[in-house]
Amino acid sequence: MKKEIQFSLVYRDMWQSSGKYVPRKDQLAKIAPVIIDMGCFDRVETNGGAMEQVNLLYGENPNQAVRTFTKPFNEVGIKTHMLDRGLNALRMNPVPADVRQLMYKVKHAQGVDITRIFCGLNDPRNIIPSIKWAKAAGMTAQATMCITYSKVHNAEYYINLAEQLIEGGAQEICLKDMAGIGRPAMLGTIVRAIKEKHPDIIIQYHGHNGPGFAVASMLEVAKAGGDVLDVAMEPLSWGKVHPDVITIQAMLKDAGFLVKDINMKAYMEARSLTQSFMDDFLGYWIDPKNSLMSSLLVGCGLPGGMMGSLMADLKGMHAAINANLKKKGEKELSEDELLVELFDEVQRIWPMLGTPCLVTPFSQYVKNAALMNLYSKSMDEKPFTRMDPAMWGMVLGKSGKLPGQLAPEIVEIAKEKGFEFYTDDPQVLYPNELPRFEKEMKENGWDRGQDDEELFEFAMHEKQYREYKSGQAKDQFNKDLLERMEKKQNGGAAGAPVKHFTAADKRAILHPDAEPIEAAVSGRVIWDLDYVDQSTNPPFGKQYKKGDWMVGVQANGNTFIDNATAPYDCHLVAVEKEHGSLVSKGEVIGWIEK
């Protein structure tokens, strides 16, 4: 009887590995039925990781997005899964236990079936509590081993780790090969050993394509007894992302495995829709280089999922390093030369820092340390002089036990700074916090949301949630988007004049359903003063009831003209003319939506 291999579409990770943002709720609602029509997926990754945080960053409620995306899959029996960072849950830093526990209740209520729990240090103490909380909430607990390739991370290391996780209650095991540098033969050995002892444990393989091992790794995992493979689809497959489902399905079918057929008409429709989301706004944050593979990743082991942020950081530091080199009369570096130096520095310092798996947030920590070392070098400073507190937290054991040994010079720097190493359970360092958030939500009159989902979002992403609630996030996102659109419209040519969008352009781009508020006369804009007093001149998002006064224009000295009352229940989504600015008759002052 043929061995069946199932496919999971990692739709969330496809976007994160390509750029900064993920599709909006309305876009997710469009793509979900088409993914179902493709007929080849038993699982879909719907949320987790940075997905919910970036929703807040562009002003969308992530809870609504999750419910919208999971519902169609729930209805047809396709399992949904999320990415969960263990001690860090859905953010970059450690999370109190009560907030972590609440997450599983909320996510299960929102329609998420499986949680993929990982720790970049592969510390079972950070994973096993989440296994218990996930199962208690009704979710399937998929314990995850972060795969990398080092003197520490060999097949025996992972086989022993899998035993600890299964003993801790894991119902499934995921091999998360986030950089795609796991060697195919080693992965086969690991899967075979787990399956021989635990034939009923489902094994899922997640491998990025960056350095090119992923296709061979998928075949080896399947031959060794793996059950589910994570795949992508065009236009976001390959490059630093994941292999395409078409290639993997054809390969496995030829190798004698039982795999589902692909409805190519639906595939092409999903492909077209995904491209339309990129054209809409998502593509403005995608670096073209992320569509390319690179064998340079074999040595440094940086993950595909952080390539978007890495290239942005590199561009930001490039000018500063070259300015320092120029002052010293030394040759400036091209962006590619700096990238190679960065990869080399990551490879050099990784074992010095205890060989953490290079996955969020530890990949960022090591990358940041390497980048700052290059900056320090350009300033003739010693290495490791600019490590931030988060980096030191990892080094000192506050995120868990490092897989390898710290280099003596790192230990010496820590001692010089008076730092103390920590060896106990890291969760103890982060006490419960839910009562604080419950109290503030009550004081603000904020709804805790269905199944306490708004309470969870506030407690998980406090800063981003505040900015989302105030409208500041949406405002900043819109400004950033318009700048990127104008730059693209200009062709990105250095030194050329930028063509700015008109108010009509902005309305079409940012607020297609909005209505304009136009000045009835020329004069000075006077916004609702209660609103202006909130200090953001004016902040967006205030709800108006039909007939409420919104904005006026002061004309002819002291003559005041009542210019606009709300024509219906609405909220202000954008401002063209700030409080106190001059406006001509007929100009757009702002935009409102129902």
**Residues paired with 206 in a beta bridge:** 176
Q: Note the pLDDT of residue 32.
A: 98
For 476-503, give one letter per residue: b (16+ CB within 10 A) or e.
ebbeebbeebeeeeeeeeeeeeeeebeb
Angle between helix 307-327 and helix 362-378 axes, rounded to 10 deg: 10
**3-state secondary structure string, 255-323?**
CCCECCCCCHHHHHHHHHHHHHHHHHCHHHHCCHHHHCCCCCHHHHCCCHHHHHHHHHHHHHHHHHHHH
Instruction: Please report the pLDDT score of residue 305 as a whole number.
Output: 62
Q: Which residues contact 324 (CB under 8 A, 6 or more apart)?
A: 375, 378, 379
Residue numbers in the chain where pLDDT is lower than 70:
304-309, 311-312, 490-500, 502-504, 507-508, 510, 529-541, 556-563
| Residue whose C-alpha is closest to residue 136's, from 165, 173, 100, 163 | 100
Could you say which DSSP state residue 347 is in?
A: H
Tell me which residue of 359, 355, 304, 321 sits closest to 145, measured CA to CA: 359
Angle, CA 509 vertex, CA 507 and CA 513 arms, to 5°: 55
Question: Three-state DSSP class for 212?
Answer: coil
Q: How many C-beta neighbours within 10 Å does residue 315 have?
A: 12
Among residues 477, 452, 476, 455, the alpha carbon closest in space to that of 465 is found at: 455
Query: Can you give the pLDDT at residue 314?
Result: 76
- Extents of the domains making up the chain: 297-428, 502-593
Q: Cα separation of 412 and 196, whole Å? A: 45
Q: Would you state the pLDDT for residue 226?
A: 98
Q: Give the separation between CA 431 and CA 470, rounded to whole angstroms.
A: 28
Q: What pLDDT shows up at residue 555? A: 77
Give, in words, the CATH class of 502-593: mainly beta
CA 211 – CA 217 distance, rounded (Å): 12
Predicted local confidence at residue 494, as pLDDT: 46
Helix (H) or strand (E) holding 117: strand 114-117
The model carries a pTM of 0.84
